[in-house]
Structure 1
Amino acid sequence: MTGRPASTSPTDPPRLRTLARTRTPRRTGITLAAAAGALILCAVLTSCADDRPAAPGPGQTPTSSAATNAPRDARRHEPADGTKSAAGATPAHRAHRAGPGSSGTLLPNLVGMGLQSAQEAARGAGFENLTSHDALGRGRHQILDRSWRVCGQAPAPGRWAKDSPIDLGAVRLEERCPAGDQGRRPIRVSTTMADFRGRSLAVARAALPPDTGIEEVDGTGAGRAALLESNWRICAQSPAAGTRLHGQPVRFTMVKFTEHCR
């Protein structure tokens, strides 16, 4: 008859149990994914822990990484132009000559060689702390070593400790070596104006205090700008050499090194 509620079949419970069983693998999959994620996180944390320095054992002194790398970093940041470092010594002065009977390394004569060949020869002899500078005192960088020739070296050929700094004064291949190295001891100005006539604008700018205002005047009257300052020579300056500096701006009249001062 219509309107009577449907009777409960004895087969309903098994169907419910079947549905329940079909949900079980889904929960199991979530559980396995969570377990796998936990294992990955544990592995990451373990690898991070392995990167930390081990705790010092009994009787050992803790050593920081900064202290361990200090000598290497000091050599890495040694000025390339022979200026004084924080220790107050130029590379030439910090070389250590080997004493009689010691196991010093023989530094060959590098003068006259191409800069790249000279550096390779020094490295082949066991010296790694190498620098170079413009022997003409123009403050140019030796970007392509094969285009430069060695005019002088410090220290001189002989037996030296392997960690000694080797500084090479060089000129471009088409240039002549100067009678004396003009770039080994750069000018440094603090309170008294130096004589920059004949020097490059790059050298003058590096020598003056960093907050000094510099006016550049083309000596030919063409109004050119000194785009590459190491290619411009100073003909006149204001204030004059010996003037006490107290923050006043500086004026340089200059021409290119291939031109003559008027």
Structure 2
Amino acid sequence: MDPDAPFIIRKPNDPFLASIVESYFYLDTTVSQLSRQPEPIIPFPRITFGYFFGEPFTVTNHSINQSALVNIAISKIATQQISVQPSGETVRILGAHLRPYGLAYFTKQSIDKMPWLIDTEELFGDVATNFVKRIHACQSTEQLFDEVETVFLDNLLTRDMDLIREAINLIEENGGNIKVADLSKQLGTTNRTLRNHFNDKIGCSPKEYLRIVKLKQVAYELKHSPDSLTRIAHENEYFDQAHFNHEVKGITGRSPNQLKKEIPSFRFLQF
């Protein structure tokens, strides 16, 4: 089975929201069509919001040995090793992938002070509770996506995000291959100021974010490219094969070779 096939994806209709939210997604299938095995989540440079209808998912942070059974949650950007596992027979998920600074448009709390898995109802209170009630009344996928867009638009905050947006753009243009000092210089700021902005609005340091951006490119090439691991390491400017192996395994818990073998079977939240 094509692992991407069950997902329905839509881009935001609102132009400004489209600069914050990458996409909405919806999945409705059964465990028998997939698997009940835990699936590792490759760290990506984005925020993910997810609501699990009816039967929750077990989300485990292997880096700190913590698990949570969740119906609705937001995951932060981090290099920690996370896995998800369905707890019931059905898998029905409504969610959204946000740009790395997306969550900062909906709360003024410092993102780095939040837990690795954010309790959406605890963070947003009645807004989240009422949202859940409304989506259960929806009759179509389009209505579900419209409700997600409505709750986002109704709760957007006005914030100065120019520095962090420009920083993210520069990092993406360089594929993560830029030093923090060079990034600060091009932005006309100090390393300390840049680090404070990243911690506050993204939830990790610039250095950690750079590692995740490079890993995203590596994961894409491991899945789609016929190139050797040596070539992939070289193209992504790792010092040598040992550094490449150490970095990938340090973040994902898997060697590049092991990850390459497993990626085709990944199903949840990873497209």
Superposition TM-score, scaled by structure 2 size = 0.21
Q: Hey, which of these two has a bigger chunk of helix by percent?
A: 2
Larger gyration radius, structure 1 or structure 2: 1
Superposition TM-score, scaled by structure 1 size = 0.22
Structure ranking higher on relative contact order (CA contacts 8 Å, 6+ apart): 2
